Chain A
């Protein structure tokens, strides 16, 4: 026998279920008066630095139908590539940018919209710069463990071409599943859960 490492095991995940909106976006779900507003509804204010953009996300199931009961959270660096987090040791992020957003997908269209800024570049652990990207986490009924993926920007071809995470994708035909096209100030990102265009999801 040796001494125990005394490690615990992570609590098992369970689906957020059909009523995740009650807990995560109660005002959206019609429960008003408990909290002032839904957390993560606004990421920017009038003083936020950087280029304003909108990101329109849909999560699409194996039949091609957008999920109308999902909750999507995004997390990203500010315009200078800094995170508004205590674990950010490289500098102080823009205090007028939260970096974190949460939206429920629309109960009719399945769309959700994040008003944010275009993130700066963040270094990979080896020091190379990653292309600008947004980290995405998806939960819903039928999703047993929250799904992690990333959105890259369609107008950042040069940066995307040298991104060390995109470079890890062995099947190059899958790279476009992580890249959102730009139209005006809006990026549209369809995340397919399965099928030919199944997005690359991460075990991070």
Chain B
């Protein structure tokens, strides 16, 4: 788990301040569950200490061959998940525009009918026996990644009397420091359901929402097989440690 993936000098600066205006507020009554689960007091601002600017590293040795292929990683031999076949690819970058190598991406999603494989899921759409719904990968030296899956369906959820989630894929991202930890969701270009979703609308800024909408990229499709969507993810940047004050005795 701790092997280094390159010999580049690790960065040790603190992370850029998080711009909370482009994130959803903790308390967003349009998304009812947030009401009782939102801290109400001001966060304590802290320039990163070693406890937050460090983070675990995951080696490629944890990955199985089908980990980033949701079409096949739960399917019986010779079978595959049902639904529109897609590739999702992109880069994990930081706010300085640098690719983030060695980032662990974990993703999960509903099946093509909008049904999750989960004990607490009650939607009437059927399970697909060949679809589990989870996958993971690690970015390469440039921060690039790709995965193969089926396009998930929209699904209804108990919030307002008739709220539906747009088609989406959940992404969890591990960069280079614990303070960079991020979970977000990817949406699909052209989906009219995006703009009526209360969870999407917890994000206060339309331009910020658009940064979560993956673009259809016909040039990256595999003809007669799968269409492609490009989804870049940006993690917090960090200050270089180059010119920082040296601690006495360090």
Contacts and interface: CB of A to CB of B under 8 A. Distances in A.
B118 A19 contact: yes
Contact of A127 (B25, B54, B66, B250): B250
Contact of A199 (B39, B118, B179, B181): B39
Contact of A123 (B34, B50, B202, B208): B50
A79 interface: no
Given A12-B209, A12-B212, A26-B132, A20 B170 contact: yes
B221 interface: no
B235 interface: yes
Nearest to B50: A122
A186 to B, nearest CB: 22
B177 A87 contact: yes
Contact of A10 (B107, B116, B234): B234
A11 B184 contact: yes
Given A18-B120, A35-B67, A144-B34, A201 B183 contact: no
Interface string A59-71: 0011100010100
Given A23-B133, A203-B46, 12 more contacts: A7-B96, A10-B95, A14-B184, A16-B170, A22-B116, A39-B58, A73-B181, A127-B250, A150-B51, A165-B49, A194-B36, A204-B52
Q: Which 9 A-B pairs have the closest CB atoms?
A: A23-B108, A142-B33, A142-B37, A85-B54, A144-B24, A203-B43, A62-B36, A100-B56, A86-B10
Interface of B: 1-2, 4, 10-12, 14-15, 17-20, 22-26, 28, 31, 33-41, 43-58, 62, 64, 66-67, 73-74, 93-97, 106-108, 116-121, 132-136, 170, 172, 176-179, 181-185, 199-200, 202-203, 205, 208-209, 211-212, 233-237, 247-250
